[in-house]
Amino acid sequence: MTQEFINKFKAEQRNRGRLLINCPDQPGIIAAVSKFLFDHGANIMESSQYTTNPEGGNFFIRIEFECPELEFKKDELKAHFEEIAETFRMEWKLAPVSEVKRTAIFVSKELHCLHELLWEWQSGDLMTDIAVVISNHEEARPIVEALDIPFHYIPASKENRAEAEAEQLRLMEEYRIDVIVLARYMQILTSDFVAAHPYKIINIHHSFLPAFIGARPYDRAYQRGVKLIGATSHYVTDDLDEGPIIEQDIMRVDHRDQVEDLKKIGRSIERSVLARALKWHLEDRVLVHGNKTIVF
Amino acid sequence: MTQEFINKFKAEQRNRGRLLINCPDQPGIIAAVSKFLFDHGANIMESSQYTTNPEGGNFFIRIEFECPELEFKKDELKAHFEEIAETFRMEWKLAPVSEVKRTAIFVSKELHCLHELLWEWQSGDLMTDIAVVISNHEEARPIVEALDIPFHYIPASKENRAEAEAEQLRLMEEYRIDVIVLARYMQILTSDFVAAHPYKIINIHHSFLPAFIGARPYDRAYQRGVKLIGATSHYVTDDLDEGPIIEQDIMRVDHRDQVEDLKKIGRSIERSVLARALKWHLEDRVLVHGNKTIVF
Amino acid sequence: MTQEFINKFKAEQRNRGRLLINCPDQPGIIAAVSKFLFDHGANIMESSQYTTNPEGGNFFIRIEFECPELEFKKDELKAHFEEIAETFRMEWKLAPVSEVKRTAIFVSKELHCLHELLWEWQSGDLMTDIAVVISNHEEARPIVEALDIPFHYIPASKENRAEAEAEQLRLMEEYRIDVIVLARYMQILTSDFVAAHPYKIINIHHSFLPAFIGARPYDRAYQRGVKLIGATSHYVTDDLDEGPIIEQDIMRVDHRDQVEDLKKIGRSIERSVLARALKWHLEDRVLVHGNKTIVF
Amino acid sequence: MTQEFINKFKAEQRNRGRLLINCPDQPGIIAAVSKFLFDHGANIMESSQYTTNPEGGNFFIRIEFECPELEFKKDELKAHFEEIAETFRMEWKLAPVSEVKRTAIFVSKELHCLHELLWEWQSGDLMTDIAVVISNHEEARPIVEALDIPFHYIPASKENRAEAEAEQLRLMEEYRIDVIVLARYMQILTSDFVAAHPYKIINIHHSFLPAFIGARPYDRAYQRGVKLIGATSHYVTDDLDEGPIIEQDIMRVDHRDQVEDLKKIGRSIERSVLARALKWHLEDRVLVHGNKTIVF
């Protein structure tokens, strides 16, 4: 069923490409890029741009284009684009939309976020290959394997962290992973692991950051008597809960809600926030600028 | 105070221009437009684009650019753009951001929307010249005249409609009005009046359209027992409450809320929805496509 | 796992009872009821009350109380309460919280709402026995039977409606069903079936009622160009989509969203709105008054 | 106009009273209180109750009742209630609804919150006597005096704090103030001033607490790249921004919003959050429990 959705998507999108650019702002960038696409027979279908400030700022653009025979022309396009990229000192990426990203999900014992992602994926609403699920517990194995997704149990503790991460890194390579989702994984990753996947690891934190950074946010929200609780999805960097925020949302609570109620309500927010953040990442809508994101 | 905000804005934005385009989609539009701007020394700062569908669709774009000496070059820009516009059969508009629009507000006895707009305007959050307020009642006169805005009382009834509208049309010309806001005006305008201001008249309807079209929406919402009430801001067309929707919002209500409570809560939604819709219109963010809006 | 949650709940709540009352308002009701509970050793833990209007209105109350040995005393409590109930002409219900309701879910081919309910149920967030799932398609069978819930396939068409409903009614009795959830069932029930389950059938309609009553609401929302879409959960009565509304919610959409996008976004709203409505019903928080609900 | 609203309200509510209670939980409280009201000819119209936990918790109740001739009977009611209050060790308050509270507003140079409160008050949506406005600047004087509300300019600085507060305290007595609203007052009050008005001072903080406690929250929100900004209304205690939260709300922002935009959006949230918090306080809906509020 899911593979059907993916195949249908790939067929429909076979001529659709995406071009992402980040460079110092200067006049003429759009003129050059759009002339390039036009000269190569590509028609711009969607384009979002942002310049951080009028003078000496950074320029960001995300373009979706239709280009007949894209699969045969993509290498040529990339090769020819090099010249423009150098002229404007661009960081850039040009890729067919049909090259669906490969996702690894890391999970612990709390399965609600995993479950949401699997369900969205089965419904065809999350366009990715879920290539592997990794957990330090066995709870997730049945629902993962029932969907024919490889499941790897890797115990994680302070003692075996180096060993566990080595195994995880090996699996990321084996499964050719493009994006890692920490779906309530609850384990801290080392700097080395994070550095190996810059802005490729998406976490869900169960609070409205920067409120309640760190452990037990629902307990602390309860103690503080807040009237709204939230969740935050962000890229993982070396600083705990300090990476660029992709998406946040909240729900209303009141004095009758005990910690357990906050957790229940929170689960629902975590699920939708993480699913939205991942969806945007998969569609290349999220560009990182310093410690912030631009979401096109 | 308000004039200070406007003057400061005009000074800051003196080199900023906006280009709005609507045309049949075809390859090369962005290439041509961006080359044109680059050739004329303009740097694109913000650009939003939408194509209704991949084949044979409509193309919409809104560009903000910085162009030194814009006030002296704007006529030349417009003249030179004609050629591109013809090639691509464009409807288009090119204008300096510093040409602040002139607004007329029509109001009846319920003053909350008028009050909100005046307040946002005094705070510098609504960048427009409020050139005149027209009402079929005298209630609004004191707060309008206290701000040195001309106030015209024009009684409106079935009997004198032709006469009243003639006077209103005359005032629209006299005050060189760009946009008319019906801030709970509660009178139906004739087809002639509407036709004279295509997509220039913004109404606030006190329901979540298309629910509760027509009169007494809060009473009917109360009867139906809805759990959310809303407001809708839309361009006025010949069909009552059927024009293109610009913005909508809702708030939660419950069984304890009587009709009067719904009205109170609703006033707060109406105020913010109308203010947002007008702000977007003033910034040329709203493009009309058929009976829908594209809000960039 | 789920049965564990239910058993834990029953043990924790074994002394907790609920008393629901609906009667003509008059002085002394609360005094009489609270004295009754006190005299029987019950302590009021939570109480919500609503009077429709000060003079000659209706009085509604929902009380949760703790009463030691409730399972042995509940029959006595009910018997003794009769006298008060008659004095004040009450409709009432007194039941231990540990008597968990039995739910039937009716579903068609769209499984997102079913899936949400099953997941909330597995997580212990929906306290009910899901006794049976009925469908006019086979799609849902695997996920239902994987959870050891009986699944009945009953084809539904205009031709066999009488026969199909007879079978459905038989199953409702066989499984001793307390509440029926139409989780996107998409078939119209007869008056007889509805009459047999007054305010026991909960539907999810995929629009913000009363907007877009009837078929294809997302298509019509797309045509109208609304900026928010919604979903409504309501009790089923004889009038299509006109029953008392329990819960509604909305999400923001924009001009880029095609009908398929509205459906995707809508699925997420439908899921959460139906889950909330069912949860409130299971906790006896929803009282019906005319064609409206009071949600305590 | 405003006085008309207040007089109309007082006439309509002349028989309506409120009883607020906070005491250790034990069986029989509601029975005793409701019997008391019934015996004194009062009919309970609305009642909200909350018990912090089943065993050894705190009991809170807010009752609205109708009692004919309340103005003549209120002293008797209070006197007779003493006995029950002592039995159950209650903190309590019994007052006619028609005894409208007297409010003082403290404001600095940012007038949006003041403006909102004045407008809600003129519309009859905020039922209070605004007895005085105090500011350390002159900006607010014209709009305050235009409404015939006394305005006092009291410069505030580190040097004259003692003197200024002495004057403020004197004015609170002179105007017999029941509630003080810090509508973006931006000055820190001394412990003495706060201690003199326990849970009578309502502040609006321009962030979603506990995020961005302290100064310049919008700048810090911008730096952190949050996707939602908020505002919090809370009672003032000795700890800066740490008092019991009454209400919070948020709005969505994105990467295009600069600090100035966050401030504009934030103003709108601050206005509505503070207005709601004050309204609830005026209706005696807010009970304090430790460092949290119960909002009935």
pLDDT tens digits for range A129-142: 999 999 999 999 99
Give A95's strand partners: A18
Q: Chain B closest CA to A283's CA: distance in Å?
A: 17
Residues D116 and D187 in one domain: yes
List of chain D residues with pLDDT < 50: none
Residue where a domain stops, chosen among B45, B72, B96: B96
Neighbour subunits, A (≥3 Cβ pairs < 8 A): B, C, D
Percent of chain C past pLDDT 90, that is, above it, reads 90
Neighbour subunits, C (≥3 Cβ pairs < 8 A): A, B, D
In this prediction, residue C1 has a pLDDT band, given cuts at 50, 70 and 90, of low
In whole angstroms, give the CA distance from residue B229 to residue B252. Answer: 7
DSSP 8-state secondary structure symbol assigned to residue B110: -
In this structure, the strands spanning D292-295 and D286-289 are: antiparallel
Nearest to A119 by CA among C171, B253, C267: C267
Structural domain of B245: 102-295
Residues A119 and A142 in one domain: yes
In whole angstroms, give the CA distance from residue A182 to residue A201. Answer: 7
Say yes or no to pLDDT of A3 above 90.
Answer: no
Residue D120 lies in a domain: yes
In this prediction, residue B141 has a pLDDT band, given cuts at 50, 70 and 90, of very high
Residues A92 and A107 in one domain: no
Domain count, chain D: 2
The pLDDT of residue A95 is: 95
Contact residues for B149 (Cβ-Cβ < 8 A; gap 6+): B118, B130, B131, B132, B133
Residue D281 lies in a domain: yes
Lowest pLDDT segment from A46-50, B55-59, B183-187: B55-59
Residues D86 and D126 in one domain: no
Residues A82 and A148 in one domain: no
- Cα torsion for B261, B266, B271, B276, to the nearest 10°? 150
The pLDDT of residue B4 is: 87
Nearest chain D residue (CA) to C50: D46
Mean pLDDT, chain A, rounded, equals 95
Chain A residues touching C268 at Cβ < 8 A: 272
- Asked if B245's CB is within 8 angstroms of C225's CB, the reply is yes
Neighbours of A266 (CB within 10 A): 22
**If you average pLDDT over residues C118-138, what whole number do you get?**
94
Say yes or no to pLDDT of C54 above 80.
Answer: no
The CATH number that applies at residue D260 is 3.40.50.170
Neighbour subunits, D (≥3 Cβ pairs < 8 A): A, B, C
Residues B86 and B110 in one domain: no
The pLDDT of residue D29 is: 96
- Asked if D209's CB is within 8 angstroms of A227's CB, the reply is no
Q: What is the pLDDT of residues C161-186, one digit of tens each?
A: 889 999 999 999 999 999 999 999 98
Phi first, then psi, for residue D179 (nearest 5°) are -145, 140
Task: Considering only the beta carbons, identify the residue of B256, B293, B294 that sits closest to C50.
Answer: B256
Burial class of B19 by CB neighbour count within 10 A (0 to 12, 13 to 18, 19+): buried
In this prediction, residue A196 has a pLDDT band, given cuts at 50, 70 and 90, of very high
Q: Chain C closest CA to D160's CA: distance in Å?
A: 50
The pLDDT of residue A31 is: 95
The pLDDT of residue D1 is: 59
- Asked if C119's CB is within 8 angstroms of A115's CB, the reply is yes
Q: Is the bond leading into B150 cis (omega within 30 degrees of zero)?
A: no
In whole angstroms, give the CA distance from residue B231 to residue D282. Answer: 27
> Helix or strand or coil: residue C9?
helix
Q: Write the Ramachandran bin of C54: left for phi over 0, alpha for psi from -120 to 50, otherwise beta.
A: alpha
In whole angstroms, give the CA distance from residue B146 to residue B242. Answer: 35
Nearest to B260 by CA among B295, B293, B284, B229: B229
Chain B residues touching D264 at Cβ < 8 A: 125
Residues A56 and A134 in one domain: no
Chain D residues touching A209 at Cβ < 8 A: 211, 224, 226
Is residue A250 within 8 Å of residue A174, measured between CB atoms? no
Is residue B44 within 8 Å of residue B64, measured between CB atoms? yes
Phi first, then psi, for residue D132 (nearest 5°) are -165, 150
The CATH number that applies at residue B69 is 3.30.70.260
The pLDDT of residue C158 is: 79
Max distance between CA atoms of chain A, in angstroms, equals 63
Residues B156 and B290 in one domain: yes
Residue where a domain stops, chosen among D38, D68, D96: D96
Residues A240 and A280 in one domain: yes
Question: Tokens 């009282």 map to which residue?
Answer: C287
Say yes or no to pLDDT of B188 above 90.
Answer: no
Chain A residues touching B44 at Cβ < 8 A: 29-30, 49, 51
Chain D residues touching A216 at Cβ < 8 A: none
> Helix or strand or coil: residue B250?
strand
Chain C residues touching A282 at Cβ < 8 A: none
Q: Write the Ramachandran bin of B199: left for phi over 0, alpha for psi from -120 to 50, otherwise beta.
A: left
Cα atoms in the 13 Å half-sphere on the side-chain side of A271: 24
Contact residues for A199 (Cβ-Cβ < 8 A; gap 6+): A235, A244, A288
Contact residues for A166 (Cβ-Cβ < 8 A; gap 6+): none
A3 vs A144 pLDDT, higher one? A144
- Asked if C209's CB is within 8 angstroms of B224's CB, the reply is yes
Is residue D222 within 8 Å of residue A289, measured between CB atoms? no
Lowest pLDDT segment from A127-141, A173-187, B44-58, C266-280: B44-58
Structure tokens at A9: 């998507």
Residues C64 and C92 in one domain: yes
Give chain A's contact residues with C (Cβ, < 8 Å). 46, 112, 115, 119, 123, 125, 146, 256, 264, 267-268, 272
> Helix or strand or coil: residue B7?
helix
Nearest to C227 by CA among A46, B217, D249, B210: B210
Supply the residues of C annotated as catalytic: 241
Chain B residues touching C248 at Cβ < 8 A: 226-228
Say yes or no to pLDDT of B1 above 70.
Answer: no
The pLDDT of residue A1 is: 59
Q: What is the pLDDT of residues A58-97, one digit of tens each?
A: 999 999 999 999 999 999 999 999 999 999 999 999 999 9
- Asked if D250's CB is within 8 angstroms of A227's CB, the reply is no
- Asked if D146's CB is within 8 angstroms of B123's CB, the reply is no
Say yes or no to pLDDT of A275 above 80.
Answer: yes
Mean pLDDT, chain B, rounded, equals 95
Give D104's strand partners: D132, D180
The pLDDT of residue A239 is: 86
Structure tokens at C135: 């469908």
- Asked if B25's CB is within 8 angstroms of A30's CB, the reply is no
Residues C207 and C289 in one domain: yes
**If you average pLDDT over residues C108-125, what whole number do you get?**
93
Is residue C179 within 8 Å of residue C101, measured between CB atoms? yes
CA distances to A30, A36, A46, A94, B64 from B27, rounded to whole Å, are 15, 12, 12, 19, 21
Select the residue from C60, C208, C233, C286 to test the B interface by mutation, using most B Cβ atoms within 10 A: C208
Nearest to C147 by CA among C126, C171, C177: C126
Chain centre distance of CA A220 = 28
Q: Chain B closest CA to D183's CA: distance in Å?
A: 16
Q: Chain B closest CA to C236's CA: distance in Å?
A: 14
For residues D239-273, b (16+ Cβ closer than 10 Å) or e, as one string?
eebebbbbbbbbeebebebeeebbbbbbbbbbbbb
Nearest to A192 by CA among A175, A172, A206, A208: A172
In whole angstroms, give the CA distance from residue D31 to residue C43. Answer: 10
**If you average pLDDT over residues C108-112, what whole number do you get?**
94
In this structure, the strands spanning A58-66 and A129-135 are: unpaired
Nearest to D46 by CA among D273, D283, D288, D292: D283
- Asked if C267's CB is within 8 angstroms of A123's CB, the reply is yes
Q: Which amino acid is at D255?
A: H
Chain B residues touching D272 at Cβ < 8 A: 268
- Asked if B37's CB is within 8 angstroms of A45's CB, the reply is no
Contact residues for B57 (Cβ-Cβ < 8 A; gap 6+): B24, B25, B51
Residues D262 and D161 in one domain: yes
Residue where a domain stops, chosen among D77, D96, D115: D96
Give chain D's contact residues with B (Cβ, < 8 Å). 46, 112, 115, 119, 123, 125, 146, 256, 264, 267-268, 272
CA distances to C164, C165, C175 from C190, rounded to whole Å, are 11, 8, 20
- Asked if C255's CB is within 8 angstroms of B289's CB, the reply is yes
Structure tokens at A163: 């060993």
Burial class of C4 by CB neighbour count within 10 A (0 to 12, 13 to 18, 19+): exposed
Phi first, then psi, for residue D211 (nearest 5°) are -70, 140
Supply the residues of D annotated as catalytic: 241
Structure tokens at B39: 């050739």
Task: Considering only the beta carbons, identify the residue of B46, B125, B272 that sits closest to D264.
Answer: B125
Is residue D146 within 8 Å of residue B146, measured between CB atoms? yes
> Helix or strand or coil: residue A171?
helix
The pLDDT of residue D3 is: 84
Contact residues for C48 (Cβ-Cβ < 8 A; gap 6+): C61, C62, C296, D47, D48, D49
- Asked if A43's CB is within 8 angstroms of B44's CB, the reply is no
Cα atoms in the 13 Å half-sphere on the side-chain side of D179: 24
